[in-house]
Amino acid sequence: MQQIDYQIDDFMLYCESKGLSKKTMASYEATLRLFARYLADNNAISDAIEVTETMIRTYIKVIQERGKYTFESNDKMKRTNCPEKGQTLVKNGLNIWY
């Protein structure tokens, strides 16, 4: 595990201590894991302290253009989502993967 994985785990514990719903926490964790995977693959980032505003803005642009589920946080999610079989539909300004 990379440092960023431990940092995500710590944040999730914080969210749990604040009483956030399981659905909200699952969404936060999935989003953060996808971002961490993107950072590792594209910027060789392994610690959240290394993340810059430019990296965040670039990531947002990528998911707006490609769709959130066109890449995965791990190999298990790749088998679940099967992004190579899906397409991204832009509807009302939102990317929808199907």
pLDDT at 97: 44
Q: How far apart are CA 38 and CA 32, in angstroms?
A: 10
Domain residue limits, the chain:
3-97
Check residue 85 and give its pLDDT.
54
List pLDDT tens digits, range 14-44.
999 999 999 999 999 999 999 999 999 999 9
93: left (phi over 0), alpha (psi -120 to 50) or beta: left
Query: How would residue 10 be classed by pLDDT, with cut points 50, 70 and 90?
Result: very high
pLDDT value for 94: 46
pLDDT tens per residue across span 42-86: 999 999 999 999 999 999 999 888 876 565 555 555 554 454 555
Q: How far apart are CA 82 and CA 89, in angstroms?
A: 16
At CB < 8 A and 24+ separation, what contacts does 18-22 make? none
In the three-class reduction of DSSP (H, G, I as helix; E, B as strand; rest coil), residue 2 is classed as: coil
